[in-house]
Amino acid sequence: MSRRYSRIRQAGQLNLALTNYIQYLTEPRERNVGSRGAQAPRKSVYVTPFGFDLATGEVARATNGVDDYTALATQINASGTGGAVTDTLGSNSIATVGQFSPARVVWFRNNTRTTQVVRSEVTNLQYLKYNGDRSSCAFGRDAADDNQYDAFDAIKAEILDANASLATNRVSLTRERYSYS
């Protein structure tokens, strides 16, 4: 069949998905408190924000998973251009920064490129889900003139080079956010 009516067929599927989504929102659901188990251990890490300056000797605090920090901190600090994170405060002091979320590098990986077909609980549509592990770690600037995107590119290159043998190997950026209100 030609592609001539493909948008109409797609609209029919999306209309069904919208109906399923509305039904999902209106149905009372049982709370799943405690069904996922305990959270992974977390630790405080310290970064210097890209978007604004702190006083000399001050750093911003963020929380990070212990395993995620272990998996990514070496590559972040070895990137050579801009990225830095540490779990020791040293002689620095913690700045009080409201509404701050540091930049994060997110690494998804797996030795094999396997997928599974999963049906959405919300829309009832099928989609492909890649199997693998995910880690994320906060990072900040290393010097006053560092750029968030240049630092991310260097970190991404370092992670991909160090793990070139993986079949699924994706690195993405969650940008720094800060609200002045």
* Spatial separation of the C-alpha atoms in residues 61 and 93, rounded to whole Å: 10
| Confidence band of 2 (pLDDT split at 50, 70, 90) | low
**114-138 pLDDT tens trace:** 889 999 989 988 999 989 999 999 9
The pLDDT of residue 116: 92
| Reported confidence tier of residue 180, pLDDT bands at 50, 70, 90 | low
Residue 146 is predicted with a pLDDT of 85
- C-alpha–C-alpha distance, residues 16 and 162, integer Å: 44
Which letter does DSSP use for residue 4 in this model? G
Q: What are φ and ψ of residue 38, in 5° steps?
A: -75, 150
Query: What pLDDT is recorded for position 35?
Result: 77
Q: Which runs of consecutive H residues, i.e. helices, occur in 27-147?
A: 66-78
Cα 150 to chain centroid, rounded:
17
Residues 43-80 have pLDDT tens digits of 999 999 998 888 888 999 999 999 999 999 888 888 77
Average pLDDT over residues 33-50: 86
Domain ranges of the chain: 39-178
Helices within 79-179 (DSSP H only)? 148-162
